[in-house]
A = this chain, B = another copy of it.
Amino acid sequence: MKKKIAVILAGNGVYDGSEIYETTMALYAIAKNEMEYMCFAPDIPHAHVINHLSGEEMKETRNVLVESARLARGQVKNLNTLNVDEYDAILIPGGFGAAKNLSDFAFKGDAMTVLPELEKIIRAFHKKRKPIGALCIAPTIIAKVLGAKVTIGNDPETAKAIVSMGGVHEEKNATDITIDEKNKIVTNPCYMSAANIYEIGEGTEACVEALKGLM
């Protein structure tokens, strides 16, 4: 039986959803490492919709589960149906969706809250000693819920917020990972530090390989 990773999406696009290259390269790394994945996303409205050409907010509403289905080629399930017993690990890609839809870190900083259904799932994986991965800005969620050791690269503001929420921050380059062995947490800065898509490939692969090693 191949190991299975649940990948948590938050929309489809860096400024209001999941970062597309981080997600795609992570899914590719999972397949390359002979594991399987299933995508999950919450059935909630986007915090807001950003025109990715102009950077301006668009006056429309989109649904996180529906937009995530684009990134998952239709193969995405409602986050509230995720059964921890069916998966060996969980992975949360970055993009502002992690900080706007899965949590409100982008709006509230260290006073953030995490989407309750996601917090419950993170705690369930942690309790069962199953590894948890997070990329880019998503490690803030793990720091908030588990007070774990993570990296978001070397952005001082975000690192400070992580410490303020009870986490430990480790400075890393784009292609390096931080492993919190005790809590089985693997994090990588991705586009918090990466200069190009090649570095995203390196960073996500390192993260996925480390998750496999912790299973």
Question: Which positions in A face B, CB cutoff 8 Å?
Answer: 12-15, 17, 19-21, 24-25, 27-28, 31-32, 51-53, 55, 60, 65-67, 69-74, 76, 196-198, 200-201
How far does the alpha carbon of A17 sit from the alpha carbon of B74 in the complex, in Å? 13
Give 3 nearest A-B pairs by CB, closest first.
Answer: A13-B70, A52-B69, A53-B69
Residues A27 and B32 in contact in the complex (CB < 8 Å), given A53-B66, A74-B52, A74-B55 = no
How far does the alpha carbon of A51 sit from the alpha carbon of B65 in the complex, in Å? 10
Residues A201 and B28 in contact in the complex (CB < 8 Å), given A60-B60, A65-B53 = yes
- Are B73 and A14 in touch, CB under 8 angstroms? yes
**Given the complex, which residues of B lie within 8 Å of A67, measured CB to CB?**
52
Sample of 15 A–B contacts (CB below 8 Å) = A12-B12, A12-B70, A13-B71, A15-B74, A20-B20, A20-B24, A20-B71, A20-B73, A24-B25, A28-B197, A28-B198, A28-B200, A52-B72, A53-B66, A60-B60
How far does the alpha carbon of A89 sit from the alpha carbon of B60 in the complex, in Å? 37
Find A76's partner among B15, B53, B55 (CB 8 Å cutoff). Answer: B53
User: Which of A24, A55, A71 has the most CB atoms of chain B within a 10 A radius of its CB?
Assistant: A24
- Are A197 and B20 in touch, CB under 8 angstroms? no
How far does the alpha carbon of A213 sit from the alpha carbon of B186 in the complex, in Å? 39
Using A13-B70, A27-B197, A53-B66 as known contacts, list a sample of 6 further A-B pairs with CB atoms less than 8 Å apart, ordered by residue number in A: A12-B70, A14-B74, A21-B28, A28-B197, A52-B66, A52-B70
Q: Please name the residue on chain B nearest to A51 by beta carbon.
A: B66
Q: Please name the residue on chain B nearest to A53 by beta carbon.
A: B69
Residues A74 and B53 in contact in the complex (CB < 8 Å), given A12-B13, A21-B24 = yes
Residues A198 and B69 in contact in the complex (CB < 8 Å), given A20-B24, A60-B60 = no
Find A24's partner among B13, B24, B52, B66 (CB 8 Å cutoff). Answer: B24
Q: Please name the residue on chain B nearest to A74 by beta carbon.
A: B52
